Amino acid sequence: MKRIGLVFCALLLLLGMGARPAAAYPYYAQMAYDNPREATGKIVCANCHLNAMPTRAEVPQAVTPGQVFTIKVGIPYDLSKQQVLADGSKGGLNVGAVVVLPEGFRLATEAEMTEEQRQETAETYITPYSDAKPNILLVGPLPGEQHQEIVFPVVAPDPKEDPSVAFMKYRVYIGANRGRGQLNPDGSLSNNNVFRAPATGRLVNIATLDSDISDLPAELASLVPPEYELPGTRVLSFESESGIHNLVVPPGPELVVAVGDSVKEGDPVTNNPNVGGFGQVERDLVLQSPDRVKWLVAFLAAITITQVLLVLKKKQVELIQAAEILG
């Protein structure tokens, strides 16, 4: 409850500061989707985080019922790189992750965690995806410099207490992202994108917003959507056979064309400022019965003893045969 409260406060703070979302937002997945994992296995984060980058995961090979264990998610990237922020300035990357555990597994409470886990998760606000899905865990956004690796403390279920859970091998699906996304929840493009020419023709004019929307001619000003009304936004006008086409480029991406250049429709007119990306991995996790292991060890011991006795019997028969021939 305390943790959810903290997350809510953090969210209010971020929204209240007036800054547009600066990085990975697992909450957006929570808002838009009942289940973050689609039927094809794609995690929905990839719908807005279009670049692919590796994700690492460390999941134990097997756990026993009721065990509190740790899932580590690694989100590596080049720490020297900076991404463009919403206003076009450069800044560090944030990270976020989602862990889809098997049904019955859940986040460990503060009291259940080990001292080490408590320290490792002190700065992370891990929340269940929804009341109906306590087995899906979300975290983020977190500053990427301090969180190249995120630790999830998890409790395994006990099939004795919960008959719907069975001892078997389960799949764990892990998705992790770094850097800002390319689409906002309303479907509009963020400035962390490549912008492309709207038509085949010649670039005839670049109008730049300095500080206020009023610098632009009225017909261009009306083109700029409210989220791009920032100093540094450029309106590119292309002259083609069918007339003038305008393209609004928010601050951040750098232009790779100059006035007078000819472009084809769909050609990039900016560089790609995106240095982040999303990646997902799958891991096996066995919910193992300690009884099964005990009986396996006992059976293997019985086999070993039998094999030793078989060899001893063979040695004895060899002695008898030697005595029959030589004696």
319 counts as binding another protein under rule CB under 8 A: yes
Q: With binding defined as CB under 8 A, does residue 326 bind another protein?
A: yes
Interaction between residue 16 and another protein (CB under 8 A)? no
Bridge pairing between strands 277-287 and 62-63: parallel
User: By three-state DSSP, how is residue 308 classified?
Assistant: helix
> Between residue 191 and residue 220, which ones bind another protein under the rule CB under 8 A?
none
Q: Is 9 annotated as a binding residue?
A: no
* Nearest distance in Å: CB 291, another protein: 12
The site string for another protein over 266-305 (x = CB under 8 A, - otherwise) reads --------------------------------xx--xx-x
Two tokens, residue 311: 């060899």
Residue 324 within binding range of another protein, rule CB under 8 A: yes
d(CA 137, CA 307): 49
- Shortest CA distance to 235 belongs to which of 207, 215, 258, 214? 207
Nearer to another protein, 15 or 309 (CB): 309
Nearer to another protein, 259 or 317 (CB): 317
8 forms part of the interface with another protein (CB under 8 A): no
170 in a known ligand binding site = no
Write down the least CB distance from residue 173 to another protein, Å.
Answer: 31
d(C-alpha 160, C-alpha 166), whole Å: 9
Smallest distance from the beta carbon of 61 to another protein, in angstroms? 23
Give the end-to-end CA distance of the chain in Å, rounded to a whole number. 88
152, 107 contact by CB (below 8 A): yes
User: How many whole angstroms from its chain centre is CA 273?
Assistant: 20
Question: 178 with 276: CB under 8 angstroms?
Answer: yes
Task: Decide whether 188 or 304 has the Cβ nearer to another protein.
Answer: 304
Question: Residue 158 class from Cβ within 10 Å (0-12 exposed, 13-18 middle, 19+ buried)?
Answer: middle
Residue 25, annotated ligand binder? yes
Q: Does 171 bind another protein (CB under 8 A)?
A: no
Residues that bind another protein (CB under 8 A): 298-299, 302-303, 305-306, 309-310, 312-313, 316, 319-320, 322-324, 326-327
